[in-house]
């Protein structure tokens, strides 16, 4: 598993998710292709956001996207983990996987972002840099910062899940965020 992903985070595994969802939509026409969402936490938060950037189809596969504590740039992440899959900081892989490099695709989806400000696993700087890029591009999105909460958001988990459900309900009912 390591070899296909080495230096390629956010490519093959994300393309697999997009292709799998498209295949499910093709096989099961009862599914509403205009109401498909994706969400993730930590690396999953990165993966959900990256799916927005990797989906080059004219009809978006995912219309509603929620990222919780996403890694926006692996140079801000744990070196032991990042360097095992990405090489040394400064390698091209870090630039290619940086979510802040091209946020224009986020204009085409409803996007929600949440993060604990005391996260010691995926540091809040990841979200701060991502927010800066999104706002500089004038992308409209929902943001929830859980002040002084850690990566697992254990004290606000019910609030977070309720927020995600409300976000998806609003999105699936046709309201652009």
Compute the distance between CA of residue 1 and CA of residue 137 in angstroms, rounded to an integer: 35
Residue in 67, 119, 123, 149 annotated catalytic = 119
CA angle 47-22-85, nearest 5°?
30
42 labelled catalytic? yes
Beta strands in the chain (DSSP E): 37-41, 64-68, 110-116, 142-146
16 labelled catalytic? no
Compute the distance between CA of residue 103 and CA of residue 176 in angstroms, rounded to an integer: 17
Residue in 15, 117, 150, 151 annotated catalytic = 151
119 labelled catalytic? yes
Residue in 42, 67, 72, 110 annotated catalytic = 42
Q: Catalytic residues, which ones?
A: 42, 119, 151
């Amino acid at each position: 598993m390591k070899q296909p992903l080495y230096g390629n985070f956010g490519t093959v595994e994300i393309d697999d998710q997009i292709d799998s969802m498209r295949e499910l939509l093709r096989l099961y026409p009862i599914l509403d292709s205009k109401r498909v969402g994706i969400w993730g936490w930590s690396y999953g938060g990165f993966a959900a956001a990256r799916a927005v950037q990797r989906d080059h189809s004219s009809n978006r596969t995912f219309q509603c996207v929620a990222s919780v504590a996403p890694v926006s740039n692996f140079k801000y992440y744990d070196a032991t983990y990042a360097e095992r899959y990405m090489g040394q900081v400064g390698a091209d892989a870090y630039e290619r996987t940086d979510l802040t490099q091209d946020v224009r695709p986020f204009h085409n989806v409803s996007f929600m972002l949440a993060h604990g400000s005391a996260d010691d696993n995926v540091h809040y700087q990841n979200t701060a840099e991502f927010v800066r890029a999104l706002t500089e591009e004038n992308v409209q999105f929902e943001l929830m910062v859980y002040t002084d909460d850690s990566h697992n958001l254990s004290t606000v988990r019910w609030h977070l899940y309720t927020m995600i459900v409300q976000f998806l309900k609003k999105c699936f009912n046709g309201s652009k965020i």
